[in-house]
Amino acid sequence: MKAIEIVLDGGLFSVDVIACTAHRYTGDYFIEIVSTTSNVLVRLTPKTDSVTSHLLAERFRNDALDERLREQIRAETCELRTTLVRAALQQATPLLTAAGQKQ
């Protein structure tokens, strides 16, 4: 089956962002990612004839922008998330110590 190639600006999209975007397409496509000095090439090959590739490049680019936004959010909040989860669950009783003991 014919592969579809999409080139993205490596200055705008990190390889991680593109890999995350591409992962969402791995149900329907075989994926190849090639990084050069300034661009990233994504090659998507449909797994079966029944896969519809209409507006694939456009969809992929939009998804990559969303993934980039997620990366921004992650960068700003990741540490805080860990701190908050730890603080919130500090009061929970760990099951391993509770099990086997009468209340």
Partner 1 sequence: MKFAPRNAFAGDTGYRLLPLRFRRLPWDESHVLITSMAGDWLIAQHKDLERAVEGKLYYTEPLFAEMEARHLIAADPNHSTLAPLLSQYRTRKSYLEHGPSLHIFVVSLRCHHTCTYCQVSRQPLGNTIFDMSDATAAHAVERLFEWPSPTLTVEFQGGEPLLHFARIRALVEAIEQRNRSEGRTLRFVIASTLHDLTDEQLAFMRDHQFELSTSLDGPEWLHNANRPRPERDSYQRTVEGIERGRKVLGEDSVSALTTLTRRSLEAPHEIIDEYRKLGFHSISLRPLSPYGFARKTEGRNGYPMADFLQFYEVALDHLLAVNREGYFMEETYGRMLLSQLLTPFSHGYVDLRSPTGAGLGAVVYDYDGRVYPSDEARMLASMGDHAFALGRVDESVSAWLDSPAMQRVLSAGVAEALPTCADCAYVPLCGADPIDHYARQGDTIGHRPTSDFCRKQMGLFDLLLQRWEQGTATDQRILEDWALRATRRSIAREAEAA
> In terms of Cα–Cα distance, which of 50, 66, 47, 64 is closest to 6?
64
> In terms of Cα–Cα distance, which of 66, 69, 44 is closest to 55?
44
Match 């995350």 to its residue by tokens: 20
- Is the Cβ–Cβ distance between 10 and 39 less than 8 Å? yes
Minimum separation from the CB atom of position 94 to partner 1 (A) = 9
* 55 belongs to the binding site for partner 1 (CB under 8 A): no
* 69 belongs to the binding site for partner 1 (CB under 8 A): yes
What is the dihedral sign for C-alpha 90, 71, 65, 48?
Answer: negative
Give me 9's structure tokens.
Answer: 């600006």
Nearer to partner 1 among residue 38 and residue 97 (C-beta): 97
* 60 belongs to the binding site for partner 1 (CB under 8 A): no
Minimum separation from the CB atom of position 36 to partner 1 (A) = 26
Judged by CB under 8 A, which stretch of 7-15, 34-42, 48-56, 74-82 contacts partner 1? 74-82
- Residues touching partner 1, count (CB under 8 A): 33
Which residues make up the interface to partner 1 (CB under 8 A)? 20, 23-28, 66, 69-70, 72-73, 76-78, 80-81, 84-85, 87-89, 91-93, 95-96, 98-103
